[in-house]
Each structure stands twice: as C-alpha cells, then as structure tokens.
Structure 1
C-alpha cells in the first residue's frame, strides 16, 4: 500500500503545472469533449508508466545494495530540482489535432510523457519499491488526479492554483524521498 500511496502523491504533485497538464487544458479548449480526452490520457499514461515501471523493476533487480540506493537517491534529488522549474509546452504536440479527441489525447500524452519527470519518477519508484502494479497504478492515479480537473474545469482552474507553492511541495517530497532512499529507510 505504501508504494501505491507514495507513487500517487509524488506523481500527482509533480504533474501540477507540467506540460501535460497544459496539454490537458489545450485539448479541453479545442475539443470540448472531456470523456474521450480523459480516456485517451488514461490509456497513454497506463502504457507509458507500465513501460517505465517495467524498466524500474528490472533496474532494481540488476543494481542492488549501496549502488541502487545512491543512484535512486540522486535521481530523486534530480527530479526535486526539476520540479522547481515550469515545463514549456511544445507546439509540435498540438499538430496531431486532425484526429479525434481520444486519438489526439492518446498520441499527444504518450509522446509528451517520454522522458518527462513523471516517467523518470515512475522508473525510480518502481526500482525503489520493487512493486510493479502498485507503482504503475499509483503513478497513473496521480496523473489522472492532476489532469482530470484540467480537462473538466479548463481555464477556470488554471489561474486559481498556487502553482509555485505546489512545485515547492513536490520538490520537497522528491528531496525527502531521495534522503530516505540514500539513508536506506524501509530496508
């Protein structure tokens, strides 16, 4: 249960203000069809995070002991720093809009998540906890908790969130996770 809850919290916080959340707002404004957009986000996230979770689980089996702790701890610190800086939305992701709402959300989200901090976090969390399903389901839930309101509420929500404070909390959570990992907590 810890792997699921930590994964949900970490990715949910990291996703606030992320380029994929901005993409959610853009898709919602363009298509005005929240259900297919949300379903596209869900499918893309499950596929992307399943691959990341598999990579993390395999990575966790190959590297063990002190090496694993240090690499993961430093990775979490890196994501903590990354979380402090807002992502820039790339206009090229918007060009897939000639397809329907579902297909556009599916393709755009899958591509936008490749190498994103939430994907990196999923790899790290899967390696840290060595629990594929709880991590992938938790990170996916975190993504959905951050993106569904963006799709449903759109522009009304964007100006009201304290993005800077949320980024600071996300960075702090990743930093604490890095410290706990290096210290060997939970072993």
Structure 2
C-alpha cells in the first residue's frame, strides 16, 4: 500500500500546473469532450506507469533495502527539480490537433508524461514495495486529480492561477522530502 500512496501523492503534486494540465485544458476547450480527454490521458499514464513498474520489479532483487531508499530519494529530488522549470506560453505548442480529443490526449499527453511525469518515482516505489502493482492505480488516480481542475476550468481561467508559485512550492516540497528520505536512509537524521 505504500507504493499506492507514495505514487498517488507524487503524481498529484508532480502534474499539478504543468505542461500536461495546460494540454488537457486546451484539448477540452477545443473539443468540449472532458471524459474523452481524461480517458486518453489516463490510458497514456497507465501504459507508461506499467512499464516503469515492470522495470522496478526487474531491478528490485539487485538492490539492497538501503539502495531502494536512496533511489526513491534521488527520484523525488529529480522530479522536484524538474517541477521548478518554466511553464509553457499561452499558444498551443503542438499545433492544431488533428487526432481528435482521445488521440491527441494519448499521443501528446504520452509524450509529455514520458518527459516529466516522474516515472522514476514510480519505478523506485515499485522496486521497494511488496505490492509493486499497487503503484498503477496510484498514478492514474493522481493524474486524474491533477488534470480535472484544469480541464473543468478551461485554459483561460487555469492560466490566471499563480501556477509558477504553485509549481515552485510543490517542487521544493518534493526536493525536501527526497533529501529527508535520503538522510534518514543513511541514518544521518
């Protein structure tokens, strides 16, 4: 169960206010199909998370428990630093979507998720858990929780929020959490 909660919180925090939220809001604004866009994003996230979990399962026997903890700490720090990057401009960065709402969500959302969804956190959580596949529903639920506000608000209202400050704060929390986990694994605190 620790993999479920860890990945749910990391995915929810990591995707809040990022490029994927903007893409989801844009696709919903253009198509008006919130459930279709959400289903496409969830499918892309589930496929990528399943691959990350499988990698975590394969690597788990090769690491000591201390290494599992350090890997998780590094994954959280890297994800937190990645969250502190810039937020995209108001223009649609992917051109005019011709794939439809579902296809655009799967293809474009999958590309964004592969680049910055914290799949390393998913793999690290799966590697250290006795129930590694519990991370799969955690990623999908966390993604849904992060995307729904942007999709329901629409792009204009979403961009009025202080997204940069939100991302910086959440990124700092993830970095701090990773540092604390790393120090506690090495028994320095």
Q: Return the TM-score normalized by structure 2.
A: 0.82
Moved over 4 A (4+): none
Alignment of 1:59 onto 2:20: no
Match of 2:174 in 1: 173
CA RMSD, Structure 1 to Structure 2 (Å): 2.6
**Tell me, what secondary structure is at the counterpart of 1:98?**
coil
1:96/1:108 contact within 8 Å kept? no
Match of 1:79 in 2: 79
Instruction: State the shift of 1:92 in Å.
Output: 9.1
2:86/2:164 contact within 8 Å kept? no
5+ residue gaps, structure 1, are: none
1:17/1:86 contact within 8 Å kept? no
Instruction: State the shift of 1:163 in Å.
Output: 4.3
Instruction: State the shift of 1:162 in Å.
Output: 5.3
**Tell me, what secondary structure is at the counterpart of 2:115?**
coil
- Deviating more after overlay: 112-121 vs 38-47: 112-121
1:25/1:150 contact within 8 Å kept? yes
Q: How does 1:45-124 map to 2 (within 5 A)?
A: 45-88=45-88, 94-95=94-95, 97-124=97-124
Shift of the 22–130 alpha-carbon distance from structure 1 to 2, 3 Å rule, reads farther
5+ residue gaps, structure 2, are: none
Distance between the aligned counterparts of 2:11 and 2:110, measured in 1? 16
Deviation readout 1:86-125 (Å, 9 max, x if unpaired): 3447x89624721221111111111221132422322222
Q: Return the TM-score normalized by structure 1.
A: 0.82
Match of 2:185 in 1: 184
Match of 2:33 in 1: 33
1:57/1:131 contact within 8 Å kept? no
1:52/1:119 contact within 8 Å kept? yes
Instruction: State the shift of 1:148 in Å.
Output: 1.6
Shift of the 130–58 alpha-carbon distance from structure 1 to 2, 3 Å rule, reads farther
Deviation readout 1:8-27 (Å, 9 max, x if unpaired): 11210111122111111221
Distance between the aligned counterparts of 1:121 and 1:21, measured in 2? 19
